[in-house]
Structure 1
């Protein structure tokens, strides 16, 4: 895993390994990403891979100013998702949510897809409105209690209108992608 990465979180050892890069800002982004994995592993150990990685991707862009915390758009993920959408390779949300974590990780490690970028953009989409942020919190509470239900079924039960409405909201969002900054 470390070969294709600038850092990693080792849950069994409770350790984060980060490769220091010449560009300090990129190193700090990697640190924020890996710390996110450590936090999620501690508080929501059964979080599905798409949610865990999506949150970590967004944490790379978290910043703070006098108004509080905010996420900036993850430009690289946006580009990858836009390309996948344009080429017809973007996984449907129902497919993403049905994918077991081990298969998500295998696909991600193979490097052939855009699951990591899509998960990051999908979490950005979910964080972009207070009602969707509340939805993420509800999902995390379910996983925190040890619920190992496939995400698809939890989403279908907890998102107003179910997975079909979520997929429609996601597709609409993909075309304009809202504000470039999400304030918390």
Structure 2
């Protein structure tokens, strides 16, 4: 989920408890948009249930509701970027499905419609959310929360990355889930077809500030956090879990040995369904945790350079 309050990309509890039934959308007499599996009688409704198709494609991106279109070609490039994120998961990490991966998009202009969609789906909403993902149905909902088109596009990519990784590696530790979502949210498809991923300026500045003030958490400390401890810090609006999730992931993605480490971690998860231990991560990274700590610190001091694919 993307939270507006801190300009951080906060993913809270997974929204998994959905009934597998037909889902309808309709507007009431006051013009409010509703979603649910029990539409009112004598009311015009549209069926918007995500459909799981035979694996004719490796990825299916479907827009089920669209109130806005990002201008100047950004909309199509954002949808194309979702496909590139999926390709990175497949090529860099060797993750795949025995079927079709899905991203089911709902794009709202009004925050009220976005919140109603959440209420209809899970029974609650949050005014600070810019986007959410529901792994049980591979759904992503985003509202046009910013006047900056790139901000909205990044929210779409952030939540789509979550949905894709949940399908490909549902047991991934929360720091990696969030780090990859933040990393890939800046992915852009250029006019020549090349793909570039850039830094998150706020996170980059925050890490540099912590370095300057000798406040940066060590890799050993950070990677020792279990999911419960990570979420507790996040729900207390602590900037460390999200910022360092981006930094750790962006650092590992910046070099072949880092991508190889992530690949093996995710492959281990696919085979054993167990969280990678600190000892295992140290074994995977050439030179161990001490070398990883040194390399991360050096990378953070220099700042993230754009990465081309």
Q: CA deviation at 1:72?
A: 0.9
Partner of 1:36: 161
2:143 paired with 1:19 = yes
**Structure 1 residues 63 and 55: CA distance shift in structure 2, 3 A:** same
SS of aligned partner of 1:9: strand
Gaps in structure 2 of 5+ consecutive residues = 1-11, 13-125
Tell me the distance in 2 between the aligned counterparts of 1:164 and 1:181. Answer: 26
Which structure 1 segments of 5+ residues have no match?
Answer: none
Displacement, 1:13?
4.2
Q: What residue is the counterpart of 1:45 in the other structure? A: 170
Task: Name the CA distance, whole Å, in 2 between partners of 1:107 and 1:24.
Answer: 30
Aligned length: 183
Q: Which residue of 2 aligns with 1:103?
A: 229
Return the index of the structure with the highest Cα Rg. 2
Which segment drifts farther, 79-88 or 163-172?
A: 79-88
Contact 1:84 1:114 (C-alpha < 8 Å) held by counterparts: no
Indicate the residue corresponding to 1:127 in structure 2.
253
**Do the aligned residues in 1 keep the contact of 2:158 with 2:184 (CA within 8 Å)?**
yes
**2:292 aligned residue:** 166
User: 1-side partners of 2:303 and 2:277: how far apart?
Assistant: 23
Answer with 96-105 or 10-19: which moved more. Answer: 10-19
Superposition deviation, residue 116 in structure 1: 0.5
When the two chains are superposed, the root-mean-square deviation of aligned CA atoms in Å is 1.8
Moved more, 93-102 or 11-20: 11-20
Query: Take 2:155 and 2:253, find their aligned partners in 1: how far apart are those partners?
Result: 20
The 1-side partners of 2:262 and 2:255 are apart by 11
Write 1 or 2 for the structure with the bigger share of helix.
1
Deviation at 1:32, TM superposition (A): 0.1
- Point out the structure with the larger strand share: 2
Q: Which of residues 183, 207, 211 in structure 2 aligns to 1:85?
A: 211
Q: Does 1:7 align with 2:96?
A: no
> In the alignment, is the contact (CA less than 8 A) between 1:100 and 1:150 conserved in 2?
no
* Higher relative contact order, chain-length normalized (CA < 8 Å, sep 6+): 1
The TM-score normalised by the length of structure 1 is 0.90
Q: Give, in whole Å, the separation in 2 of the partners of 1:10 and 1:165.
A: 37
